[in-house]
Chain A
């Protein structure tokens, strides 16, 4: 990564990860303080020399959604995102793409159980990452209050320093939504267009992992 543009961005992202030690069992984790931003996603895709997506489909990034912030610039042979969205969380990345980006960072996706523990700071009865107070647009980006994603770090972090755990984008988790044959993966955390119910720590939804959608991003974790 050192020979690429903006190497400090990756270093900073790694340094800002939050150490989380679950009470009474489970391994310690470092959790990315923010969702992967568009700027970081572009950097990682370039670092992996990720080729353009096929003309009639995609493997990792849904570039066929006309609003997708991640684009391959064929002339420059590199990935790009609009400057105005650089600090917004990256969407349009499917579950396999999310795993790849994590691997590039030496990380992985969290399991749903890990996600719930760090979202609640290991307080199982907690309703939302900020506590039990009801949601509002000053706390999180949900329910179309902002009409789209917002830059990471806009809302107050959790007490351990995690941003956008509730709202902005949902977060791919490692697990299958249903055990067995399901192609759906667990998504946690609510999103800019989803209602307040999705902000609750206990709420999960399933999404076909093949899809890069407008409401799902990723937060890497590292086992300590």
Chain B
């Protein structure tokens, strides 16, 4: 649990907007639907990643707070007037968040831009979702979205900078892709650990909602300045009880959420994931914080 309360956010009737920040396939849709199960909260689905290709293309690129420009927002946005307009309107919309109507968004693609984001949306609160990396790897591999998210191009250079000289599994093996996704987990975890300090933030573990739904929900709501809503408890009971629906469905039995990776990953893939986590273990990176006691 990591709560850093920023007093200004609760001042007056204004309520700071929130961001649900998560690695791909780590439960952000579930959290998105859970917070919206109550009528006084709205959560936008990936305005940076699913409403423009721009941020997908420069995912993991580092934008610091000093890179924020009041006029252009960022130097690389200079040629994109329409996108700047969209982002300004987004900021205005988030700025309308108030105690009776709290507005936020979820994102999977802003890990490298948290410094910039703090300058763009100074009052933003961040819910950081964590999940067992083995479960993330398993879900990403089954999603068929690795190319869409450009893992092969974007992740290895960032991982190499973090963990120089790491010897990868041979290309073309099943362990190779599992290893690549694990690298993505490590890279994003490192970025979040470096950059979340200035935000009011709260770490949410997906497993918490299965182990003790009421307590998990209360902690989540407390961070948003709310009491847990009966509709949210009903949501947890219903959606953690059964698996159904499409790729982004939040109907997932907690057994599937926690254990599906055991059925889907081979021993070699699990070993590849754990090797990546071990290789980066150290004072700055704690595999247990990633939800996996490797």
User: Which of B189-197, B210-218, B243-251, B263-271 has 4 or more CB atoms under 8 Å from chain A?
Assistant: B243-251
Q: Are A57 and B82 in contact (CB-based, < 8 A)?
A: yes
Q: Interface of B with A (CB < 8 Å)? A: 33, 37, 39, 42, 44-45, 47, 50-54, 80, 82-83, 85-86, 89-90, 92-93, 96, 101, 148, 231, 235, 238, 244-246, 248-251
Contacts A211-B44, A213-B45 given: A144-B245 contact, CB under 8 Å? Answer: yes
Minimum CB–CB distance from A142 to chain B (whole Å) comes to: 11
Minimum CB–CB distance from B245 to chain A (whole Å) comes to: 3
Q: Are B51 and A205 in contact (CB-based, < 8 A)?
A: no
Minimum CB–CB distance from B9 to chain A (whole Å) comes to: 20
What residue in chain A is nearest B82 (Cβ atoms)?
Answer: A57
Q: Are B249 and A58 in contact (CB-based, < 8 A)?
A: no
Q: Are A57 and B96 in contact (CB-based, < 8 A)?
A: no
Minimum CB–CB distance from B289 to chain A (whole Å) comes to: 31
Contacts of B251 in A (CB 8 A): 143-144
Q: Are B86 and A210 in contact (CB-based, < 8 A)?
A: yes
Minimum CB–CB distance from A221 to chain B (whole Å) comes to: 25
Contacts of B37 in A (CB 8 A): 195
Q: Are A147 and B51 in contact (CB-based, < 8 A)?
A: no
Q: Are B50 and A64 in contact (CB-based, < 8 A)?
A: yes
Minimum CB–CB distance from B235 to chain A (whole Å) comes to: 7
Please pick, from A58, A193, A197, A206, the residue contacting B51 in the complex, using a CB distance under 8 A. A58
Contacts of A122 in B (CB 8 A): none
Contacts of B101 in A (CB 8 A): 178, 206
Contacts of A211 in B (CB 8 A): 44, 47, 51
Q: Interface of A with B (CB < 8 Å)? A: 54-59, 62, 64-66, 143-145, 147-148, 178, 181-184, 193, 195, 197, 203, 205-208, 210-214
Minimum CB–CB distance from B52 to chain A (whole Å) comes to: 5
Please pick, from A57, A144, A197, A208, the residue contacting B93 in the complex, using a CB distance under 8 A. A208
Please pick, from B39, B45, B89, the residue contacting A210 in the complex, using a CB distance under 8 A. B89
Q: Are A57 and B148 in contact (CB-based, < 8 A)?
A: no
What residue in chain A is nearest B53 (Cβ atoms)?
Answer: A64
Contacts of B45 in A (CB 8 A): 213-214
A184 to B39 alpha-carbon distance, docked (Å): 14
Q: Are B238 and A144 in contact (CB-based, < 8 A)?
A: no
Contacts of A58 in B (CB 8 A): 51-52
Please pick, from A66, A178, A183, the residue contacting B92 in the complex, using a CB distance under 8 A. A183
Q: Are A205 and B42 in contact (CB-based, < 8 A)?
A: yes
Minimum CB–CB distance from B106 to chain A (whole Å) comes to: 13
A127 to B189 alpha-carbon distance, docked (Å): 46
